[in-house]
Amino acid sequence: MALTLALIEGISLFVAVGAMILLWLHPLLSDWIDVLTVLSQAFGISFCCIVAFYYNDLYDFRVARNFAQFASRLVQSFGVAFILLAIFYTLLPETKLAGRPFVSSFLIIVGFLLPLRGISYAVMRSRHFIERVLILGTSPLASKVVQEIEMHPNAGYAIVGVVDDGAGSEGTFAGYPLYGPLARLAKIIDDVRPGRIIVTMAERRGRLPVDELLQGRVGGILVEDGVDTYERLTGKLAVEALTPSNLIFSKDFRKSHVEFALARAISLIASVIGFIAFAPVFGLIALAIKLDSPGPIFFVQQRAGRYGRPFVLIKFRTMLSASAEMSEWVRDNNSRVTRVGRWLRKFRLDELPQFVNILRGDMNLVGPRPHPMSNYQLFLENIPYYSLRSVVRPGVTGWAQVRYGYANDLEEETEKMRYDLYYIKHLSIWFDLRILFDTVKIVLFGRGSKTADAYPAEVRLEAKR
């Protein structure tokens, strides 16, 4: 939905701004140079605006949950757009638009965006576009699915009730009507008339009401596994509810050698460009580390690579040296983080030396974060399907890093594992590009990538962060 809306808004802005420029400055197009000038001027303004909107979370409906929140963020987005335009005009001065046409362009953008987004929110929440959802089962997964649907009011779902797959007692579940017993499912479906049934039963063998669900499916009701619903709404996998068959028979895990080779080639090219582009920064960071605290410039540690093979990870040092064996958890080492280290961590600049690891073949640019070898066995024994994350090369950045951030205990590592599995399942070049765009957002704005820090309190997905 967010991508579709971004495309619609981008095309609309391009057409609107192009029409304004054409009428204001080029009423008669005499040659192809005039046409290209108009197109480049319209593209520059609309592209910079769309990028600014993306980096200010205007397409993240967990942040811009309603029209009022969108409008408040729109103002600060224009500040970013002006900076991007200044860069754009510096690189391509012939496309520069100034004076009244420039001001008129932004007035047209506001005049288009506000009604368009207002209509979008109205459509997403209109009862004519809301799908009635019946939850089948009262397992922990059911609670998570209910919570996620509530956290995504623009997803187009309205829960009409929950069917108890246990004793069949009626009452409420998570604030919604609880129906039962399971044997009355056909009658319950007739009464509540759902458009979608989400199956969240913990135990299905011999208990799943196949005939009733099949009748509903033939009658036009969508029947969906709760694991798939949770995955679509959150961008992560419900590892505690996954079964081996969910993974074995999934078509998404099959990747071609071409995709792996292309990802590797992009990582190598990016690491070479990164070395050249950040060479001056390397020197400044090294000097700052030396002046700030005693100790080496680089931090090296054995990490688990592809297939669990150890390799030596290189980072800029952000902490004071420990006099004894220390915990690996971030919260246990906060007191050791240096002043420069806090700044480096905030903008993820401590990760820059890992370009060396990419060139050596230890890592890719995007992938699951490599864990210390000292924790590898612990995670292998306590986190479901943990071994699967090592089938790909670890990365400097990844889906778990941009969506969650640092972990402080096994529970939070398990949470990150949900994101890692989602990444491996949906691995593609386009997904890698999206992660890189989000990483740029964290680097430029120094935002925490943890869900609890990135979103307002009322939309936090977990109570404990």
Return the closest-CA partner of residue 356 out of 347, 343, 365, 346: 365
Structure tokens at 353: 């030396």
Which pLDDT belongs to residue 328? 63
Which pLDDT belongs to residue 348? 84
**First vs last C-alpha separation in the chain:** 28
**131-234: what CATH class?**
alpha beta
Evaluate if residue 465 carries a pLDDT over 70: no
* Bond prior to 181 in cis (omega within 30° of 0): yes
Which pLDDT belongs to residue 33? 79
The answer to whether 155 and 224 have CB atoms below 8 angstroms apart is: no
Going through 85-127 in order, the beta strands assigned E by DSSP cover none
Assign 449 a pLDDT band (cuts: 50, 70, 90): very low
The answer to whether 324 and 351 have CB atoms below 8 angstroms apart is: no
State mean pLDDT over 68-82.
87
Element (H, E) at 365: strand 364-366
Going through 171-281 in order, the beta strands assigned E by DSSP cover 171-173, 176-179, 196-199, 222-225
**CA–CA distance, 312 with 362 (Å, rounded to integer):** 8
State mean pLDDT over 61-69.
84
Which pLDDT belongs to residue 354? 95
CATH 3.40.50.720 residue ranges in the chain?
131-234
**CA–CA distance, 189 with 201 (Å, rounded to integer):** 17
Encode pLDDT of 1-44 as tens digits.
Answer: 667 778 888 888 888 888 888 877 766 666 777 788 888 888 99
Residue with tokens 């100034």: 98
Which pLDDT belongs to residue 327? 61
Tell me the Ramachandran region of residue 447: left when phi exceeds 0, alpha when psi lies from -120 to 50, beta otherwise: beta
**CA–CA distance, 203 with 163 (Å, rounded to integer):** 14
Assign 463 a pLDDT band (cuts: 50, 70, 90): very low
State mean pLDDT over 112-136.
85
Task: Give the Cβ contact number of residue 235 at 10 Å.
Answer: 14
The answer to whether 26 and 97 have CB atoms below 8 angstroms apart is: no
State mean pLDDT over 89-97.
84
Give buried/exposed letters for 404-419 (b at 16+ CB in 10 A, else e). Answer: bbebbeeebbbbbbbb
Which pLDDT belongs to residue 453? 36
Return the closest-CA partner of residue 239 out of 249, 230, 248, 251: 230
Assign 303 a pLDDT band (cuts: 50, 70, 90): very high
**Cα–Cα–Cα angle for 249, 266, 422, nearest 5°?**
30
Between the ranges 96-105, 204-213, 245-254, 298-307, where is the mean pLDDT highest?
298-307
Q: What pairs with residue 366 in β-bridges? A: 397
Evaluate if residue 368 carries a pLDDT over 90: yes
Task: Give the Cβ contact number of residue 18 at 10 Å.
Answer: 19
Encode pLDDT of 305-341 as tens digits.
Answer: 999 999 999 999 998 876 656 666 666 567 788 999 9
Q: What is the pTM of this model?
A: 0.82
The answer to whether 350 and 341 have CB atoms below 8 angstroms apart is: yes
Q: What pairs with residue 162 in β-bridges? A: 135, 178
**CA–CA distance, 451 with 464 (Å, rounded to integer):** 11
Encode pLDDT of 163-208 as tens digits.
Answer: 998 766 678 898 999 998 888 999 999 999 999 999 999 888 888 9
Which pLDDT belongs to residue 459? 33
**CA–CA distance, 450 with 448 (Å, rounded to integer):** 6
Average pLDDT, the chain: 85
What is the DSSP code string of 264-332? HHHHHHHHHHHHHHTHHHHHHHHHHHHHHSSS-SEEEEEEE-GGG-EEEEEEE--BPPPSS---SSGGG
Element (H, E) at 396: strand 395-397
Evaluate if residue 296 carries a pLDDT over 60: yes
Q: Which residues contact 166 (CB under 8 A, 6 or more apart)?
A: 138, 180
Q: How many residues does the chain have?
A: 465
